[in-house]
Amino acid sequence: MESIRLVSREYKPEDTVVTVGNVKIGGGHRAYIAGPCSVEDEGQILEIAELISDCAHILRGGAFKPRTSPYSFQGLGEEGLRLLVKAGSSFGLPVVTEVLSEAEVELAAAHVDMLQIGARNMQNYALLKKVGAQSKPVLLKRGFAATMEELLLSAEYILAAGNSQVVLCERGIRTFSGSLTRFTLDLSAVPILKQLTHLPVIVDPSHGTGRWNLVEPLAKAALAVGADGVMVEVHSHPQEALSDGPQSLKPDKFRALAAELNALAQFLDGRSGGI
């Protein structure tokens, strides 16, 4: 793939380690990012943060929400940012949130520990350049019809703008799959990306499947295939969530999942490095 430069393994053979607050991702460090799809109110985000604080590494929560319909809940905006940061600092978790607009980037970067570019904005080049000019790490989600090359070139925009702290995230691609899953999680993307780039690669099995009861097996598969972490939606009352309830785990399910993933990670680390 000749078109990539700064993100390529040829340019930098050793794994990049991205640091989010006090959490490392990549180069053998795995991280679990967890939290609700949207920050809904102070009680909600504090409750979730407390319940997952000893098993998640980074707290996620949307303040600015990209919604297909203009009439859906669009997030709490700046107030959502404030609540997310409060919840993270209360329980010792760095926080990540999505930015949708160039106008929000600097505000968000002033408060949170990591900026997320969502799948729908993977090729929003103005936004990529803007987050590339910040000093906070970036979580770049793969567009749901983006090739490996397109994902890497979007990351290249960020590195070319001066920010080399980028984590890639596979979150499912759009196929003929139909009604049983919203998307098809493309786990082969993980080893392919890790051959091509030095950047860490994580997997989002919540968006990637759209069904909470598929999150556990696919999170485990993500670690087994070589991912540097997972991003999981957690909500105390999924049936009342303002967005993405059907794919959210309850906190106790997430705690159990984290324990399973920790054991699997320990097992994988005990094996030698591949055949």
| CB 145 to a second copy: min, Å | 3
Q: Which residues between 126 and 155 bind a second copy (CB under 8 A)?
A: 126-127, 143-145, 147-150, 153
Task: Give dist(CA 274, CA 57) in Å, integer.
Answer: 27
Nearer to a second copy, 113 or 216 (CB): 216
List b or e across 76-106, with b for residues whose CB sees 16 or more CB atoms inside 10 angstroms.
beeebbebbbebbeebebbbbbbbbeeebbe
- Restricted to residues 92-121, the positions that interact with a second copy (CB under 8 A) are 100-104, 120-121
Cα distances from 273 to residues 28, 32, 203, 223, in angstroms, run 11, 22, 21, 14
C-beta closer to a second copy: residue 52 or 87 = 52
Instruction: Give helix 78-91 / helix 42-52 axis angle, nearest 10°.
Output: 30
Nearer to a second copy, 191 or 246 (CB): 191
Q: Is residue 186 a contact point for a second copy (CB under 8 A)? A: yes
The residue (of 25 and 127) whose beta carbon lies closer to a second copy is: 127
Cβ proximity to a second copy, 20 vs 127, nearer residue:
127
- Residues 228-257 contacting a second copy, CB under 8 A: 253, 256-257
Residue from 185, 199, 202, 234 binding a second copy (CB under 8 A)? 185
Question: Which tokens hold the place of 122?
Answer: 């993977």
Nearby residues of 9 by Cβ (< 8 Å), 6 or more positions away: 195, 196, 197, 198
Q: CA 21, CA 215: separation in Å to the nearest integer?
A: 26
Per-residue x/- mask for a second copy, residues 43 to 82, rule CB under 8 A?
Answer: -----------------------xxxxxx-----------
Among positions 190-219, residues that touch a second copy (CB under 8 A) are 190-192, 195, 208-209, 213-214, 216-218
Residue numbers 165-184 binding a second copy by CB under 8 A: 173-178, 180-181, 184
| CA–CA dist 172, 205 (Å, integer) | 8
CB contact set of 69 (below 8 Å; sequence gap of 6+): none
Task: Give the one residue of 17, 55, 160, 265 binding a second copy; rule: CB under 8 A.
Answer: 160
At closest approach, how far in Å is the CB of 44 from a second copy? 22
Only one residue has tokens 């297909």, namely 68
Nearer to a second copy, 41 or 174 (CB): 174
Answer yes or no whether residue 220 interacts with a second copy by CB under 8 A.
yes
Least gap, CB of 176 to a second copy (angstroms): 4
| DSSP reduced 3-state for 208 | helix
Q: What phi, psi does 211 have (nearest 5°)?
A: -135, 125
Please state, as a whole number, how many other Cβ atoms lie within 10 Å of the Cβ of residue 41: 13
Position 11 contacts a second copy (CB under 8 A): no
- Taking the complex as a whole, the smallest distance from the CB of residue 86 to a second copy amounts, in Å, to 25
- Residues between 12 and 31 that touch a second copy (CB under 8 A): none
Q: How far is CA 74 from CA 69, 114, 271, in A?
A: 9, 20, 45
- Of 94 and 172, the one with the shorter C-beta distance to a second copy is 172
